[in-house]
Amino acid sequence: MSLVLQEPQTEWQGKNLPDDANPQVDATYGTDPMVEDANGASPRASARRPKRGILGHARELFRLRHDKSTSRVGLAAACFVGLFSLIGGRLVFLAVTSENTSEVRRAASSEISAARPDIVDRNGEILATDVKMVSVFAEPRNIIDKDEAVELLTAVLPDLDATDLRNKLGTKKGFVWVKREITPRQQAEVHRLGIPGIGFLPENKRIYPNAEAAAHVLGFANVDNVGIAGMEKYIDSMGLQDLNGAGFNISAADLKPVQLSLDLRVQHALRDELVKGMAKFKAKATAGAILDVNTGEIIALVSLPDYDPNNPVDALDKDRINRINVGVFEMGSTFKALTVAMALDSGKYNINSTFDARSGLRYGKFTIGDYHATHRVLTTPEVFVHSSNIGTARMALGIGVEGHKTFLRKMGQLSRLETELPESALPIIPPRWGELNTMTIAFGHGLAVAPLQALMAVGALVNGGVLIKPTFLKRTEAEARQNALQVIKPETSEAMRYVMRLNASVPEGSASSAAIAGFFVGGKTGTAEKVINGRYSKNKNFTTFTAVVPADKPKYVFLTIMDEPQAVEGTYGFSTAGWNAGPVTGNIVERVAPMLGVPPRFEAPSQPFPLMSRLGAWGSNR
């Protein structure tokens, strides 16, 4: 029999030992009083409460225990939210502050804001409008292989200069143009290349649906949609470029169309007739204009040769200037209308005054003669009808140099004519104006003006004597007369209508070639020898014709000019205005007068010039 020493059973025997995972055990079972450390503390107490670091807490959190799952999910969600917030914030920061993006955005803003208002004719027909186009740009800093980019882009856009493009892409700039205004097909092909750093910008491109029609009035806009000439430049000067420069994002829909005084139908007809006349008489150039004498509106204006504003590569060619507004010319005998009006309005002469034209008028070593000399005394209407240089020179001498200058200044012939078109020319005035100058200027030599100036003056001569400044914008008669100036008496105006009608209705009149039946036309021819190298040329003429329709109650004045027309078959060797500018003007009147609301009248008006009839003016009984 062995003896087994059996320990006495304690109170906690057979139970789980207390641990620090269940702190309530200590409170129930107490501590072992038999075991103490040097400081009198129980070593089990120290084991139950270890000091944990951050790593210990994290390890404890992710132990697979049910009571810790909510904390783990919350922490994971917080981490994901923080991560995505950081990524999103970075993307926003790059979009807002990236230097490259900022440059692109500035360029885009500059181009898109350059929208322009439509330009329409007096009937609302579109003359100029914007269309949306796309341009290709590059961000050189973002292009990895520049040589490959050049090779691919020039293959799709063969008109690009490879060297120039390589130089552009070789810069450190954030934005450069590759090609402006590409087609949709080209855009698709460039996009298909997938070159990093190549993008597209929407732009506004100015188009002119009627091509050359009204080119010299409209002018054109450049690739940046900035007006370069004509009404396009005028629109910019009225504040459009200031708005664009201030950064306003303007669309065409925000801008009211600009309505011109032009009639597109008449514009086409005028150009067509001038093209035919230029070809027939082999002229170097030709031009024409139609003026509403009661409103000052320019109904049509053409200068040939012209250009296509959609592709204005020839616009600056010296032969393609606007001869009506920019060119200055000696207007020849059409200026005699101003001299006769001056003489009649002065009160010193009347419709029945006479002038000695039996021989040439001598002044020093110069002698003034008539082209078709009559060698007799002429009445005022006969001076006009026979286009007598001698008679008009005597009229001007009778008024005097200062009186002559004052009258021409009042008629707007000695200063620059300003209209909406930015392009205008100063008249060429003699530096020392003496009696000889007055004599020659009286019949259209020695003073060069823009044809539009002369047209304005003739309008005043026939509309009752009111000088109305021409305009290319549509307006009413009331608006036109607000700032108009009465320059001659109404009686003088009737006399001028009378002599102009007489010049077209009598056989000896030089305007008979434009006397289209039914329209009661009046008119005056003008032929001036061109100045070549400071001397008058005997075989190069500048011819003009001014027609009034209808002469009894004028509504329109027509002007046609021809530069160096030639004698052709049927002109009997002549190249003067009666043989070229006159017939061309007649064709224009016949074609466009009905469009302008002037139907033909085949019965002459009764008493169209009552004052002239009472005074018994020469020709009034014809």
Strand stretches in 383-463, DSSP E: 448-449
What one-character DSSP code corresponds to residue 353?
Answer: -
Amino acid, single-letter form, for residue 246: A
Torsion of CA 119, 120, 126, 128, to 10 degrees: -20
Phi, psi of 514 (to 5 degrees): -110, 5
What one-character DSSP code corresponds to residue 327?
Answer: -
Non-local (6+) Cβ contacts of 14 within 8 A are: none
What one-character DSSP code corresponds to residue 563?
Answer: E
d(CA 241, CA 233): 10
Which residues are known to be catalytic? Answer: 333
- Beta-strand relationship, 119-120 and 361-363: unpaired
Sign of CA dihedral 455, 523, 328, 408: negative
Residue 307 near residue 314 (C-beta atoms within 8 A): yes
What DSSP assignment string belongs to 465-519?
Answer: SEE---BSB---HHHHHTT-EE-S-HHHHHHHHHHHHHHHHSTT-TTGGG--TTS
- Nearest Cα residue to 503 out of 514, 516, 494, 512: 512
The helices-and-strands tally (H runs, E runs) of the chain is 22, 20
d(CA 343, CA 409): 15
Amino acid, single-letter form, for residue 141: R
d(CA 570, CA 508): 19
* Distances, alpha carbon 572 to alpha carbons 161, 467, 503, 567, 575, in Å: 56, 39, 21, 7, 9
CA 282 vs. chain centroid, Å, equals: 31
Q: SS3 breakdown of the chain: % helix, strand, coil, rounded to 5? A: 40, 20, 40
- Beta-strand relationship, 126-138 and 198-207: antiparallel
| Helix ranges (DSSP H) in 295-335 | none
Q: Residue 20: which region, alpha, beta or left (left: phi > 0; alpha: psi -120 to 50)?
A: alpha
> 347-380 in b/e burial notation, b at 16+ Cβ within 10 A?
eebebebbbebeeebeeeeeebebeeebeeebbb
d(CA 414, CA 249): 44
* Distances, alpha carbon 98 to alpha carbons 101, 135, 514, in Å: 5, 22, 71
